[in-house]
């Protein structure tokens, strides 16, 4: 069974095939026949080298189970990420490397999460002293523990990967059962932070100051270009006639009048508001998310590459005034519009 590049708007959750390269390499190091294991669960091994190919998550879950059975190694997810590079995650991984802070890096991961997998989403929460990165599984998605082990370990060690080894979480909360005693030490060394198992949620908890520390390798201009590549890749995952893709083009023309209502959008699409909301939900999107994403991209572009006044940009993007625009920039980028413009 050959799995061609799968579309993220189908009802079956998918993930980038390249995410499984690390597992394939680790299996080979442990003396296993990786291509045979992939074939056993119906996955085309050759797609590992295709940058935008995707695997159904339910089949990758079976693969992880087969791999753990073949090796007896519960830590496979943590070992597999040793073979992962930023380019594994398409342009998202590279733009993360150019981020100015961990907060901004996690923001990029949240924004472009569907490019990596549509089986989960990243939620970011902050208080006066803490910053929480939460991995939420979408309805119907049941990835293997080893897959989420590896992904959360990558997130926990993002500071190390960006050249700042001291930027580690205060604690890590995992929903998976506690590993066997012979494997627990490897978990502790890999996460390098206090671990809690059997939790209701999968969360990384950082000190707020940690995620707001400026990173040495920051390159806002490169990060911005890579963001555009990520957006284009996400659009390629959608069918040409998908509701979210068609609606995005129309929303751009409407923003100077304010954020369009679902009723107005539905009238443009020649369908009822309820039907449009349902179609967008099936595609993992919403009108509010489309509007917010367009505003964020346009705000970044115009603040960095034009000298237009903040009021002009705010009104063109459908905000009531410059103050509302400033609050949105703080939410998107952790900075005021003037601070963003000052980084040119």
Please name which of 151, 269, 268 lies closest in space to residue 203, comparing C-alpha atoms.
151
Residue that finishes a domain, picked among 211, 228, 258: 211
Residues 202 and 249 in one domain: no
- Over 50: is that where the pLDDT of 138 sits? yes
Residues 207 and 248 in one domain: no
pLDDT tens-digit series, residues 50-98: 877 889 999 999 999 999 999 999 999 999 999 988 777 777 888 888 8
Residue 9 lies in a domain: no
Of 24-28, 110-114, 183-187, the range with the lowest mean pLDDT is 110-114
SS3 141: coil
Residue 132 lies in a domain: yes
pLDDT tens-digit series, residues 198-208: 999 999 999 99
- The arithmetic mean of pLDDT across residues 291-307, rounded, is 87
Give the pLDDT score at 5: 40
Sign of the torsion formed by the C-alpha atoms of 36, 37, 38 and 40: positive
Residue 33 lies in a domain: yes
| Residue ranges making up the domain that contains 314 | 240-341
Residues 206 and 281 in one domain: no
Give the pLDDT score at 11: 58
Q: What is the CATH number of the domain that holds 25?
A: 3.90.1520
Residues 95 and 195 in one domain: yes
pLDDT tens-digit series, residues 159-168: 988 888 899 9
Residues 207 and 252 in one domain: no
Residues 185 and 251 in one domain: no
Residue 5 lies in a domain: no
Residues 255 and 207 in one domain: no
Residues 190 and 278 in one domain: no
φ, ψ dihedrals at 122, nearest 5°: -110, 130
SS3 212: coil
Residue 226 lies in a domain: no
- The arithmetic mean of pLDDT across residues 102-120, rounded, is 86
How far is Cα 155 from Cα 169, in angstroms, rounded to an integer?
A: 9
Residue 3 lies in a domain: no
Tell me how many domains the chain contains.
2
Residue 217 lies in a domain: no
Residues 266 and 193 in one domain: no
Residues 69 and 200 in one domain: yes
pLDDT cut 70: percent of the chain above it: 94
Give the pLDDT score at 4: 39
- Over 80: is that where the pLDDT of 238 sits? no
Q: What is the CATH number of the domain that holds 306?
A: 1.10.10.60
pLDDT cut 90: percent of the chain above it: 48
Residue that finishes a domain, picked among 211, 231, 261: 211
| Residue 136, CA distances (Å) to 77, 96, 140, 203 in order | 18, 20, 12, 9
Give the pLDDT score at 344: 52
> 0.75 exceeded by the pTM?
no
Residue 218 lies in a domain: no
Give the pLDDT score at 149: 95
- The arithmetic mean of pLDDT across residues 223-243, rounded, is 75
Residue that finishes a domain, picked among 165, 192, 211: 211
Give the pLDDT score at 3: 42
- Over 60: is that where the pLDDT of 323 sits? yes
Q: Over the range 19-47, which residues count as b (16 or more CB within 10 Å of their CB) and which as e?
A: bbbbbbbbbeeeebebbebbeebebbeeb
Direct distance between the N- and C-terminal alpha carbons of the chain, in angstroms, rounded to an integer: 50
DSSP assignment letter at 89: G
- The arithmetic mean of pLDDT across residues 172-195, rounded, is 95
Give the pLDDT score at 8: 39
Residues 165 and 297 in one domain: no
Residues 71 and 180 in one domain: yes
């Amino acid at each position: 069974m050959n799995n061609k590049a799968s579309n993220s708007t189908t009802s079956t959750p998918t993930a980038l095939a390249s995410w499984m390269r690390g597992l394939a390499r680790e299996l080979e190091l442990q003396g296993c026949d990786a291509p045979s294991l992939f074939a056993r669960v119906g996955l085309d091994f050759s797609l590992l080298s295709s940058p935008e190919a995707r695997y159904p998550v339910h089949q990758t879950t079976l693969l992880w189970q087969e791999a753990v059975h073949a090796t007896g190694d519960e830590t496979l997810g943590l070992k597999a990420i040793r073979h992962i590079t930023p380019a594994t995650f398409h342009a998202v991984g590279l733009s993360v490397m150019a981020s100015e802070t961990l907060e901004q890096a996690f923001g990029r991961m949240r924004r472009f999460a569907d490019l990596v997998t549509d089986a989960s989403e990243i939620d970011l929460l902050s208080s006066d002293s803490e910053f929480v990165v939460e991995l939420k599984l979408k309805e119907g998605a049941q990835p293997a523990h080893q897959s989420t082990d590896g992904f959360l370990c990558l997130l926990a060690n993002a500071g190390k990967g960006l050249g700042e080894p001291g930027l580690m979480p205060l604690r890590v909360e995992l929903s998976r059962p506690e590993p066997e005693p012979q494997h627990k030490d490897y978990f502790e060394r890999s996460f390098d932070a206090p671990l809690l198992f059997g939790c209701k949620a999968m969360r990384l908890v950082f000190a707020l100051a940690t995620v707001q520390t400026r990173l040495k390798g920051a390159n806002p201009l490169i990060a911005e270009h890579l963001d555009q590549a990520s957006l284009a890749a996400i659009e390629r995952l959608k069918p040409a006639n998908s509701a979210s893709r068609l609606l995005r083009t129309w929303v751009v023309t409407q923003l100077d009048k304010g954020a369009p209502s679902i009723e107005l959008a539905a009238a443009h699409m020649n369908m009822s508001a309820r039907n449009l909301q349902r179609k967008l939900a099936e595609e993992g999107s919403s009108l509010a998310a489309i509007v917010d994403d367009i505003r964020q991209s346009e705000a970044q572009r115009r603040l960095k590459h034009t000298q237009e006044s903040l009021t002009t940009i705010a009104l063109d993007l459908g905000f009531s005034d410059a103050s509302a625009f400033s609050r949105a920039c703080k939410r998107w980028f952790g900075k005021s519009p003037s601070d963003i413009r000052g980084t040119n």
